[in-house]
Amino acid sequence: MSDLDDFKATYFDECSELLNELEEQFQAIEEGERGADRLNAVFRAIHSIKGGAGAFGFTGLVGFAHAFETLLDYVRDGRIELVDEVVALCIRANDIVADFVAAARSGETLPSDYGAEEKARFDALCRGESPDGDENGEPMEEFDIEFTPVMVKLPFAEDEAALTLDAEADAFEEAPLAGTDGHWEIRFIPHTDLYARANDPLLLFRELAALGEIDVKALVADLPALADFEPFGVYCTWEISLSSPTVTEAQIREVFEFVDGDCDIEIAQLAAMPAREAAAPAAAAAPDESTPAADEPAVSFADLAAEITPVAPPKPVAPSLVAKAPSSEGAAEEGDQRKNGVQSIRVDLDKVDRVVNMVGELVITQSMLTQQMDENLRVRYQELVRGLEVLAQTTRGLQDSVMAIRAQPVKSVFSRMPRLMRELAQKTGKKIRLEMIGENTEIDKTIIEQLSDPLTHMIRNSADHGIESPEKRIAAGKPETGVIRLSAEQAGGNILIIVEDDGQGINRERVLQVARDRGVVGPDQQLTEEQVDQLIFAPGFSTAEAISDISGRGVGMDVVLSNIKKIGGSVHVRSVPGKGTRMTLRLPLTLAVLDVMLVKVAASPYVIPLSSIVETIQCSRANFSRVPSGAQVLQVRGEYVQVVDLALRFDTPTQVESDSRFVVLCEAEGGVKVALIVDDIIGQQQVVIKSLEENFERIDGIAGGTILGDGNVALIVDVQGLKSSISHQNAA
Amino acid sequence: MRVLTIDDSRTILAMLHHTLTKAGFEVLQAEDGQQGLDVLKSEDVDVVITDINMPIMDGIEFIRNVRATGHHQSLPILILTTETSQEKRDQGRAAGGTGWIVKPFDPEKLISVIHRVVH
């Protein structure tokens, strides 16, 4: 049933977009924009979610969405006033819809009463109770509509028989009850409206013919002169006799379902079924006897019947016509469907990833070719060299283009935050304004997907621990309303996402105290202010005395750090007491390809991400000194930088003279520099990152591996990891 | 046979497309009523299946517009609706809708309904 899976994937994609849109709409609504457009958009989105859910049999979602939709409908047409309580309820309901969607997607089962409380409030509202009333009365009628989702049956039965008109195969109907007799007389007088809606008596007769043997007569006594014909005029009355041993009145009524109200119709069952052969003549006379007392509104049926000369009994409806397989007509053009009004296409992320991977391999091959061009070859094959240069450029262009396909504005994550903020403000009683900058900054889709939780957590943290209560703020001479600023910007090969608040800053004494109490920091360990700030991300650390409703969801900020690390990013926090806290997420632009500097340590190749390199220095010219603890430091323009000898760090003794080695000066998080000593610097290139963890395990100081042009494996140095391990060593 | 499908939900469009092409129809798609009208300007279709709740131009207005143009008066238009209530359906019919299909639709039901309104 891969078709169904495909549809589900489409559905969930669509749901994500709709939920985002709902989020935006509700935000605007909450801010006071309560125009019809917004309400309609919200209604449509919920409606679409419900529609798809029905198709897949997500009953819980359908039920809740339906109730929500009904409420929205009431709001839309003004039966319920959209006061703040109702908005809050809608926003809550929106979350519940999102939960239902998420559960449906992951295959989890939500408790059967999930959302029941909200649903009860919908009912109460629709019954006209006040928004804050919480009586749980009987649900109103509208909600009693039974939804019976019908699973989509895919694919079709292979034989075309399944496609023929067969009313008995109708899955929506009960099995036809055997008619007691099986001979029916139907009188049918169309109204003009029937034609105006593009219905056609002939089609109805065809439909009837599928139920049994029919005989159709047109009563044309009222036909005007040809000159007086109106194209949509109705001049005929039709009499149909239908013979079938099994047909029920309900089946016949169903044929006329679409023209109900657009015609007069009488259906009567004859007492005895005439012999088939005699059907036609008998039927002509039959109505007179069988339905003499029929309530005839306008025309006297008996009169008409007496006058008519059966006009060419539209013999029509041969089974071959009725049972025509639709494919006979359309098959030739099948697959030749034109799309209209579509400016974008949807591509499965897997397909994009395949392209990304192949481009990655292409980058490797290209750099391998370049590497193999030694000086001799360069001189002898200048044309080839030029060709390779063009190839390098094209490869780079191709890579950028492929990455651009995966890139998406961070807006999709940012847009969820204002609501979170309002909720937080409400719960804490603090006044907080959220400012957002750089929402259009683009990052790889995979990274964006991983951003939501960490950002949510950081903002909760800022609102909970950072921003003070209005009283405190006024006492401190600050504006009553606190500001949390969420910004995104591109900085070199990284994206920086910054959550900044103008709150009280990190209480370092308390943080350190808690860290010592919990054993995160040893009793004698001395930490710099910055290291203390960074402790809020340490595993097992949480400053909230009582786990609050807000930031305490059972996880600490360490989850933020581990989530961000997972996508190759890092977190840095900087706090000024009384002034505020700034948390910076540094994220890679893309997860796939990295610009690196290739170096050698103990004859093995390593690569260092170019984005973290500040400069390189020859060891002979470097100015090393030792600090009392015994650690080596490097003085660069008046600044002391910690030194890590990669040969020692990775425990791979090197034979290279120390003076002919090199220093690669790198900048880790928060502008902290670290000097890495390597044996040799080979050059700059692009590499495709391969995860070590996937096939091996995580190693401190190593961010991953890569395959070089010559087929050798090089490890990617994790500058941030090395830097923090120094801090630990020094601190210990 | 050519079918124009109009729905703002990609899921529904995809399902209709799958079901209809499998049954041998040629399928055109539009995401709202306005797009649907644009398609009808340049393309001949045998039947239209349209959603009611859509942005820009909803299904009711779409049907009204189609019926208002002379040469589409006999074009069968089926209303796709999840509304089990009579209200939307009646509005659609009042505007000139030929018949309706209740979502979620069963593929066979869908095909048979189309055949009920198309020659």
Say if residue A709's pLDDT is above 60.
Answer: yes
A51 contacts in B (CB within 8 Å)?
Answer: 9, 11-12, 82, 103-104
A47 contacts in B (CB within 8 Å)?
Answer: 53, 82
Say if residue A592's pLDDT is above 70.
Answer: no
Closest-approach residue (CA) in chain B for A166: B112
A50 contacts in B (CB within 8 Å)?
Answer: 82
Which residue from A145, A166, A346 is facing B84, i.e. has the nearest CB? A145
Say how far apart CA B75 and CA B96 lie, in whole Å: 10
Say if residue A245's pLDDT is above 60.
Answer: yes
Place of tokens 């089609």: A203
Which residue from A261, A334, A340 is facing B24, i.e. has the nearest CB? A334
Q: Which helix (H) or strand (E) holds A695?
A: helix A692-695
B105 contacts in A (CB within 8 Å)?
Answer: 55, 150
Task: Give the distance, in angstroms, between the CA of residue A454 and the centroid of all CA atoms in the same chain.
Answer: 18
* Whether A327 contacts chain B with CB within 8 A: yes
Q: Would you say the C-alpha torsion A131, A133, A136, A141 has a positive or negative sign?
A: negative
Say how far apart CA A175 and CA A389 lie, in whole Å: 74
Specify the pTM. 0.44
Ramachandran sector of residue A438 (left: φ over 0; alpha: ψ -120 to 50; beta: rest) = left
DSSP A690: B
Q: What is the CATH number of domain A2-144?
A: 1.20.120.160
Intra-chain end-to-end CA distance of chain A, in Å = 59
- Would the CB atoms of B108 and A163 count as touching at under 8 Å? yes
Structural fold of domain A410-588: Heat Shock Protein 90 (3.30.565)
Q: Which helix (H) or strand (E) holds A458?
A: helix A445-461
Structure tokens, A608:
């260092």
A200 contacts in B (CB within 8 Å)?
Answer: 74, 117, 119
Say if residue A78's pLDDT is above 90.
Answer: no
Which residue from A44, A50, A329 is facing B54, i.e. has the nearest CB? A44
Q: What are the structural domain ranges in chain B?
A: 2-117
pLDDT band of residue A715 (cuts 50, 70, 90) is very high
Mean pLDDT of chain A: 75
Beta bridge partners of B100: B79
pLDDT band of residue A671 (cuts 50, 70, 90) is low
Taking CA A26 as the corner, what is the angle to CA A25 and CA A32, rounded to the nearest 5 degrees?
A: 100
**pLDDT tens digits, one per residue of A132-147:** 544 444 444 444 444 4
The SS3 call for residue A347 is: coil
Q: Which residue has the higher pLDDT, A222 or A70?
A: A70
Closest-approach residue (CA) in chain B for A338: B28
- Would the CB atoms of A338 and B28 count as touching at under 8 Å? yes
**pLDDT tens digits, one per residue of A153-167:** 444 444 444 344 344
Q: What are the structural domain ranges in chain A?
A: 2-144, 165-323, 350-405, 410-588, 593-731
A19 contacts in B (CB within 8 Å)?
Answer: none
- Indicate which of A18, A77, A258 best probes the interface with B, i.e. most B CBs within 10 Å of its own CB: A258
Q: Per-residue pLDDT averaged across A343-368, rounded?
A: 79
Q: Would you say the C-alpha torsion B89, B91, B92, B94 has a positive or negative sign?
A: positive
Beta bridge partners of A501: A484, A581
B91 contacts in A (CB within 8 Å)?
Answer: none
* Whether A200 contacts chain B with CB within 8 A: yes
- Would the CB atoms of B38 and A152 count as touching at under 8 Å? no
Say how far apart CA B34 and CA B56 lie, in whole Å: 7
A335 contacts in B (CB within 8 Å)?
Answer: 21
- Would the CB atoms of B82 and A47 count as touching at under 8 Å? yes
Structure tokens, A382:
């200048």
pLDDT band of residue A92 (cuts 50, 70, 90) is confident
Taking CA A104 as the corner, what is the angle to CA A100 and CA A108, rounded to the nearest 5 degrees?
A: 95
pLDDT number for residue A601: 92
**pLDDT tens digits, one per residue of B34-61:** 888 888 888 889 899 998 888 888 888 8
Checking ipTM against 0.90, whether it exceeds it is no
B31 contacts in A (CB within 8 Å)?
Answer: 341
The SS3 call for residue A716 is: strand
pLDDT number for residue A77: 79
Distance from CA of B15 to the nearest CA of A (A): 7
Structural fold of domain A593-731: SH3 type barrels. (2.30.30)
Length of chain A: 732
Distance from CA of B81 to the nearest CA of A (A): 9
Judge whether A370 and A392 are in contact, CB under 8 Å. Answer: yes
Say how far apart CA A724 and CA A701 lie, in whole Å: 9
* Whether A174 contacts chain B with CB within 8 A: no
**Superfamily of domain covering B2-117:** Response regulator (3.40.50.2300)
Q: Which helix (H) or strand (E) holds A707?
A: strand A702-707
DSSP A181: S
Residue A35 vs residues A41, A76, A92, A205, B61: alpha-carbon distances, Å? 10, 9, 20, 48, 20
B39 contacts in A (CB within 8 Å)?
Answer: 340-341
pLDDT number for residue A583: 92
pLDDT band of residue A181 (cuts 50, 70, 90) is low
Place of tokens 């797009």: B35
pLDDT number for residue A162: 39
DSSP A140: P
Say if residue A47's pLDDT is above 90.
Answer: no
Closest-approach residue (CA) in chain A for B119: A203
Q: What is the CATH number of domain A165-323?
A: 3.30.70.60
Which residue from B22, B27, B73 is facing A155, i.e. has the nearest CB? B22
| A to B CB pairs, distance under 8 Å | 180
Beta-carbon count within 10 A of A489 CB? 12
β-pairing, A263-269 with A213-219? unpaired
Say how far apart CA A167 and CA B118 lie, in whole Å: 16
Which residues does A642 contact at the CB level (< 8 Å), separation at least 6? A631, A632, A633, A634, A673, A674, A675, A723, A726, A730
B67 contacts in A (CB within 8 Å)?
Answer: 196
Ranges A4-8, A281-285, A539-543, B53-57: which has the least confidence: A281-285
* pLDDT above 90 coverage of chain A, percent: 5
pLDDT number for residue B4: 92
Distance from CA of B119 to the nearest CA of A (A): 7
- Would the CB atoms of B23 and A163 count as touching at under 8 Å? yes
- Would the CB atoms of A47 and B21 count as touching at under 8 Å? no
**pLDDT tens digits, one per residue of A634-647:** 888 778 888 988 98
Say how far apart CA A86 and CA A12 lie, in whole Å: 27
- Indicate which of A48, A202, A324 best probes the interface with B, i.e. most B CBs within 10 Å of its own CB: A48
Q: Per-residue pLDDT averaged across A251-273, rounded?
A: 77
- Would the CB atoms of A40 and B55 count as touching at under 8 Å? yes
Q: Would you say the C-alpha torsion A301, A304, A309, A314 has a positive or negative sign?
A: negative
